[in-house]
């Protein structure tokens, strides 16, 4: 796979289709459903000759530097074709019928490979699942954070009470726990945070921004954070942007440790949105990367971490991942009860059915597994170092 970093000019696809190609593609779109169908060959020719000319080619080019969108390794592309061909449903762990869920568990054990790549301790974060992307992973973090802070408020009552949002619903659980509101405290978050809190029933108005200053918006104002945490009637999910999406800057390990200490004191949940900067965990610990090393060294203190595989690993879109310390809580929130036909007697790994939003799931683990296996740690580290060097030259 070392050749993936060395392209000739002849290999570079056109970054964007021409105006004429776009117009051709738009004009050729079929708008009336055919009664009898046009057949496979006619369909194939239509898509290849009429539609595909309107697709952007930038993401397959080595000269495409949009980090957030990413690229695709040959290994991941091959595996993604195989995913569609074999059409595995990574839903219920049925090891006598398919190896798919076992492979996903292996891939997620840091994928034993991904967590190894990121130096994330698999025993510290036993809860893990592939998702459709970082936005979905962030939604999992909000749902679990919501469950935790309300349940923790109930546990701290006198006498303690069982206040599970998953069982009672948000309004009843908050009422019994004496919680008047759930607040999301962050600095300058990615826009998808607001979507996640809306979908989780917490509300966009619950987001409180507490940046240290205009010059350092990626850092928390710890005094203001403490003031908000001390409100007894409000319970808190703290969201750390790693890195801050505009500047690419991180807060320090010491600041992360301070946030963890405050969260433990006040019963808050700490979530790291690592879609942009989680890959800094791959970097060597050298003077050149000292600030980045320090910025990500406290991630292990989080309750949950969201990541984007199409950014981090250069696999096709529709692939993110989620790690959490709280496997049991994850299964409480996302349990799919009452369907005997979806049960499994095999408990060697947690069933994916009870770990995320989806029931039927695409085999997203295979492109990740293939790319990690084919490329290895050094390749990914080299790729990231080149991107950092390029960004610093541009800056």
Closest by CA position to 210, among listed 200, 225, 198, 199:
225
Q: Per-residue pLDDT tens for 77-91?
A: 999 999 999 998 888
For position 70, what pLDDT does the model report?
65
Predicted confidence band of residue 137 (pLDDT cuts 50, 70, 90)? very high
Residue 60 near residue 13 (C-beta atoms within 8 A)? yes
Closest by CA position to 131, among listed 196, 49, 62:
196
Closest by CA position to 143, among listed 187, 91, 186, 198:
198
Question: Residues 237-254: what's their mean pLDDT?
Answer: 87
Among the CATH numbers 3.30.300.30, 3.40.640.10, 1.10.3720.10, 3.30.360.10, which is that of 100-394?
A: 3.40.640.10
pTM: 0.90
Closest by CA position to 97, among listed 84, 106, 88, 105:
88
Terminal CA-to-CA distance of the chain, rounded, Å?
Answer: 30
Predicted confidence band of residue 6 (pLDDT cuts 50, 70, 90)? very low
Kindly state the greatest CA–CA separation across the chain: 72
Q: Per-residue pLDDT tens for 336-349?
A: 886 655 565 556 67
- Classified as helix, coil or strand, 338 is coil
Taking 70 as the threshold, does the pLDDT of residue 76 lie above it? Answer: yes
- Alpha carbons 7 and 244: distance in angstroms, whole number: 32
- Alpha carbons 27 and 30: distance in angstroms, whole number: 8
Per-domain residue ranges for the chain? 2-65, 100-394
- Alpha carbons 165 and 176: distance in angstroms, whole number: 10
Taking 90 as the threshold, does the pLDDT of residue 50 lie above it? Answer: yes
For position 57, what pLDDT does the model report?
78
């Amino acid at each position: 796979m070392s050749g993936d970093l060395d392209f000739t000019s002849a290999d570079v696809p056109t970054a964007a289709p021409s105006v004429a190609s776009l117009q051709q593609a738009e004009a050729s779109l079929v708008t009336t459903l055919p009664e009898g169908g046009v057949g496979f060959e006619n369909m194939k020719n239509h898509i290849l000759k009429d539609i595909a000319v309107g697709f952007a080619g930038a993401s397959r080019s080595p000269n495409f530097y949009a980090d957030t969108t990413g690229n695709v390794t040959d290994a991941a592309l091959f595996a993604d074709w195989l995913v569609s061909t074999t059409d595995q449903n990574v839903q219920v762990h049925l090891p006598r019928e398919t190896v798919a869920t076992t492979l996903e568990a292996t891939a997620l054990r840091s994928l034993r490979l991904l967590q190894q790549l990121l130096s994330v301790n698999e025993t510290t974060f036993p809860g893990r699942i592939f998702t459709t992307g970082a936005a979905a992973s962030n939604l999992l973090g909000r749902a679990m954070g919501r469950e935790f802070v309300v349940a923790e408020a109930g546990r701290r009552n006198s006498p303690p009470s069982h206040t599970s949002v998953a069982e009672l619903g948000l309004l009843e659980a908050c009422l019994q726990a004496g919680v008047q509101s759930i607040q999301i405290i962050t600095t300058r978050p990615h826009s998808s945070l607001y979507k996640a809190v809306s979908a989780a029933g917490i509300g966009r108005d619950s987001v409180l921004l507490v940046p240290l200053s205009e010059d350092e918006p990626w850092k928390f104002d710890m005094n203001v954070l403490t003031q908000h945490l001390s409100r007894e009637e409000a319970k808190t999910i703290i969201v750390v942007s790693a890195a801050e999406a505009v500047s690419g800057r991180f807060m320090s390990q010491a600041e992360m440790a301070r946030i963890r200490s405050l969260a433990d004191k006040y019963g808050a949940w700490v979530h790291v949105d690592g879609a942009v900067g989680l890959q800094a965990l791959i970097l060597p610990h050298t003077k050149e990367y000292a600030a980045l090393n320090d910025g990500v060294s406290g991630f292990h203190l989080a309750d949950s971490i969201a990541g984007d595989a199409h950014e981090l690993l250069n696999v096709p879109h529709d692939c993110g991942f989620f790690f959490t310390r709280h496997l049991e809580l994850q299964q409480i929130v996302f349990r799919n009860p009452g369907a005997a036909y979806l049960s499994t007697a095999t408990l060697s790994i947690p069933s994916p059915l009870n770990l995320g939003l989806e029931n039927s799931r695409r085999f997203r683990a295979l492109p990740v597994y293939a790319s990690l296996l084919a490329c290895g740690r050094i390749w990914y580290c080299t790729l990231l170092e080149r991107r950092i060097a390029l960004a610093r030259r541009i800056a």
